[in-house]
Amino acid sequence: MTRMHRAGMAVIIGALAASAAGAAQAQIQGMPLFTNPRYATGLRLHADLGLPTDKATSLGDYNVLQGGVTFALGPVGIGANLGTTRQTFKAATGGTATTDLGSQSKVTASALLQLRLAGGGANPLSASIFGGASMDMNAFDFTKLKNFGSLPVAIQDSIKSTNPKVLTIPVGGAIGIKLPLVIISPNLWGSARLNMSRVVDCPSGANCPTDNQFRWALGLDVPIFSVISVRAAYDSGKIKNPVTHATKTVSNFGVGASIGLGGMR
């Protein structure tokens, strides 16, 4: 293992240890977790749209808007995203009061670290490991209740129970292959991960529930003249509702594009 790989491994292990202390969902709900192991070099800006495949789900099935930035140096890739539902975005930009947005209304900031273990360059095959964390803020976090702590405990507990914060740490691996076509060289990839989740900031006296679920994803990235890249992914697996504790399979499809300095390896 090279010095760069050892340093990258140390960064990922350190980030996972830090995230276990108090971050939340690395994957924005309703959006696939893009983990192409042949990630773009340099600095790039991303924009994505998440499209749930089951409109009848009770777990927050709605279109999601996501924007972010990624930076790759050698085998280490770092990504940061900010996302929210289209419904929340339209309500917020339309002047809707934050207290009327609903308990599912939130903005999620996420981060992802990847370490490429093999591939890149002339090698059409690639493999990586990844881990991440994020924090979601719901409507009540944006209210002007500066003295939330002075409210009666019963009211605080009621808000916490209906607007839970979920800590989810995904850890997994990805493999990919670059197809050497004449005009474009699309990258096909697949990944598997374990989502370790826990509700944080529970009502007083309550035991914060925990849950571990397996999820997988398949994706396609198509670089265009190294400057622009388009991508799509399908993500599926079980998710546990933090309010009802019901577990069901939820799948999402996402499409997006990026632009920046650096191409696809």
For residues 197 and 160, give the distance between their C-alpha atoms in angstroms, rounded to a whole number: 17
* 72: phi then psi, degrees, rounded to nearest 5: -125, 135
pLDDT at residue 37, rounded to an integer: 93
Question: Domain 3-261 belongs to what architecture?
Answer: Beta Barrel (2.40)
Amino acid identity of residue 197, one-letter, is S
Question: What pLDDT, in 10s, does the model give residues 183-239?
Answer: 788 999 999 999 888 777 777 766 777 788 899 999 999 988 778 889 999 999 987
pLDDT at residue 183, rounded to an integer: 74
Q: HSE-up of 132 (CA within 13 Å, CB side)? A: 28
Domains of the chain by residue range = 3-261
For residues 135 and 133, give the distance between their C-alpha atoms in angstroms, rounded to a whole number: 7
Cβ contact 124:116 at 8 Å: no
**Mean pLDDT over each residue of the chain, to the nearest integer:** 75
Taking CA atoms, 152 is separated from 165, 183, 202, in Å, by 20, 65, 15
At which residue do the structure tokens 């276990």 appear?
A: 20
pLDDT at residue 227, rounded to an integer: 84
Q: How many CB atoms lie within 10 A of CB 80?
A: 16
For residues 244 and 107, give the distance between their C-alpha atoms in angstroms, rounded to a whole number: 21
For residues 76 and 8, give the distance between their C-alpha atoms in angstroms, rounded to a whole number: 6
Tokens read off for 29: 């709900």
Of 233, 219, 220, 222, nearest in space to 184 by CA: 222
For residues 11 and 140, give the distance between their C-alpha atoms in angstroms, rounded to a whole number: 34
- Residue 262, sorted as left (phi over 0), alpha (psi -120 to 50) or beta, turns out to be left
pLDDT at residue 264, rounded to an integer: 59
The three-state secondary structure class of 113 is: strand
Q: Which residues of the chain have pLDDT under 50?
A: 4-26, 57-61, 96-103, 144
Cβ contact 79:95 at 8 Å: no
- Whole-model pTM: value is 0.75
* 229: phi then psi, degrees, rounded to nearest 5: -145, 140
